[in-house]
Each structure stands twice: as structure tokens, then as C-alpha cells.
């Protein structure tokens, strides 16, 4: 939600890191609840990855920029963004109906919130013009999906969770390198300039 409001990249990244902490807390609570040591280890892993490593990588991509530290001209202004967020949350509640109905429990009641985060990440992704904002939007989506995974069941099998985390990490690293190259080729990371290729 805050990510829609603020335009400074540094603040957006801090919000993202806090979300990572919240996600790790959810998993930790689940671990205590189920008395499951494996789940506890997963919680620590999530904390390290989503609250530490990923924000660090994004931050480094930003530090190399030396350009405007703000999202200059988002396609949609702040008020409209916040209204859109409200609408997306309602949509999330509507879509999640069958999920909540299947197993009414406090945890599954919270599933729409996770879905709302996914939708908002998508919204950030399509309305922002800077490369870094898109990366953050993608990561928000991923956080939301992971939240849904842990709220519905105790997460996907461990080997899958590991593979997914690795994939996300690599995807962000790849995007970071591409941002650097984009800056070398274009001089900035304004995605509106990406119009070499079209029919």
C-alpha cells in the first residue's frame, strides 16, 4: 500500500524489507504453532532472503544509478493509485471466496490480504516507469504469493520452496545486471525509452 504512495526509491525498498519481516513473522508463528523445527528454519531463511538479501541487491542497483532517486512521472497519480488499491483489495476478497469457503480458519481468512498484495505488485509493475520500480513490483507479487502459500497450507514442499527462492534471487540479480546494461546503452532507466522493437 505504501509503495503506491511514496515515490522515493529508498522508502519503497524499506517498505519492501518490512514486508519481508512480516512474512517471516507469519511463518515463525506457524512454526511455533505446529511445533515444527523445519518450518522455523524456513522462517529464518525467509527473513535472510526477503528482509536482507533482496532489498540489498535492489539497493545496490539503485546506488549505482547516481540519477533521480524518485519515480518522476508515474502514469497514475497518488490519489488514483490509492483508490485503485482499494478496488484491488475488494477484487481480492471476491476472488478468494472459494478459498476461504473451503477451509474457514483464521489463517485462510487472511488469504485475500495476500492476494491483494499480489494484485498491488502487479499494479506497481504496470504503472511505474522506472526499471527499479518494476523489479520491486515483481518482488511484491512474489511476497504476496509466498504469503498465500503459508496461509493456506504450511507452505509448498521444502525442495520446491528452496528452488523458488533461488529462482527469485537469480531473477533479481539478472534484472539488476540488465539495469546496469540499460544504463550503459541508454544513459538512464526510463522504460518509456524502450521502443526500439515494435511492429
Residues lying near another protein in the complex (CB under 8 A): 95, 97-99, 101-103, 118, 122, 125, 131, 134, 138, 141-142, 145, 148-149, 152-153, 156-157, 159-160, 163-164, 166-167, 170-171, 174-175, 178, 181-182, 184-186, 191, 194, 196-197, 199
Q: Which is nearer to another protein, 27 or 118 (CB)?
A: 118
Given a contact cutoff of 8 angstroms between Cβ atoms, the answer to whether 63 and 36 are in contact is no
Q: How far is the CB of 4 from another protein (least distance, A)?
A: 18
**What is the C-alpha to C-alpha distance for residues 109 and 128, in angstroms, rounded to an integer?**
31
Report in angstroms the alpha-carbon separations of 165 from 48, 57, 157, 170, 179.
11, 14, 12, 9, 21
Given a contact cutoff of 8 angstroms between Cβ atoms, the answer to whether 161 and 50 are in contact is no
Q: How far is the CB of 160 from another protein (least distance, A)?
A: 3
Q: Which is nearer to another protein, 8 or 167 (CB)?
A: 167
Given a contact cutoff of 8 angstroms between Cβ atoms, the answer to whether 59 and 179 are in contact is no
Report in angstroms the alpha-carbon separations of 112 from 7, 76, 77.
26, 24, 25
Q: How far is the CB of 24 from another protein (least distance, A)?
A: 18
Q: Which is nearer to another protein, 11 or 161 (CB)?
A: 161
**What is the C-alpha to C-alpha distance for residues 43 and 188, in angstroms, rounded to an integer?**
37
Q: Which is nearer to another protein, 78 or 181 (CB)?
A: 181
Q: Which is nearer to another protein, 87 or 102 (CB)?
A: 102
Given a contact cutoff of 8 angstroms between Cβ atoms, the answer to whether 55 and 16 are in contact is yes
Q: How far is the CB of 72 from another protein (least distance, A)?
A: 19
**What is the C-alpha to C-alpha distance for residues 31 and 34, in angstroms, rounded to an integer?**
5
Q: Which is nearer to another protein, 22 or 105 (CB)?
A: 105
**What is the C-alpha to C-alpha distance for residues 5 and 1, in angstroms, rounded to an integer?**
7
Amino acid at each position: 500500500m505504501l509503495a503506491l504512495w511514496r515515490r522515493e526509491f529508498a522508502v519503497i525498498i524499506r517498505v519492501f524489507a518490512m514486508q519481508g519481516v512480516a512474512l517471516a513473522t507469519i511463518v515463525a508463528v506457524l512454526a511455533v504453532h505446529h511445533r515444527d523445527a523445519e518450518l522455523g528454519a524456513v522462517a529464518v531463511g525467509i527473513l535472510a532472503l526477503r528482509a536482507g538479501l533482496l532489498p540489498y541487491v535492489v539497493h545496490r542497483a539503485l546506488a549505482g544509478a547516481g540519477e533521480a532517486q524518485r519515480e518522476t512521472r508515474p502514469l497514475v497519480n497518488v490519489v488514483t493509485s490509492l483508490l485503485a488499491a482499494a478496488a484491488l483489495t475488494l477484487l481480492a476478497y471476491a476472488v478468494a471466496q472459494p478459498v476461504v469457503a473451503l477451509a474457514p480458519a483464521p489463517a485462510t481468512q487472511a488469504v485475500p490480504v495476500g492476494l491483494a498484495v499480489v494484485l498491488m505488485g502487479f499494479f506497481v509493475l504496470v504503472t511505474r516507469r522506472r526499471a527499479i520500480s518494476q523489479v520491486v513490483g515483481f518482488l511484491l507479487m512474489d511476497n504476496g504469493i509466498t504469503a498465500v502459500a503459508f496461509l493456506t497450507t504450511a507452505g509448498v514442499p521444502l525442495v520446491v520452496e528452496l528452488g523458488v527462492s533461488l529462482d527469485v534471487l537469480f531473477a533479481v540479480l539478472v534484472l539488476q545486471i540488465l539495469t546496469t546494461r540499460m544504463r550503459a546503452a541508454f544513459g538512464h532507466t526510463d522504460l518509456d525509452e524502450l521502443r526500439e522493437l515494435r511492429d
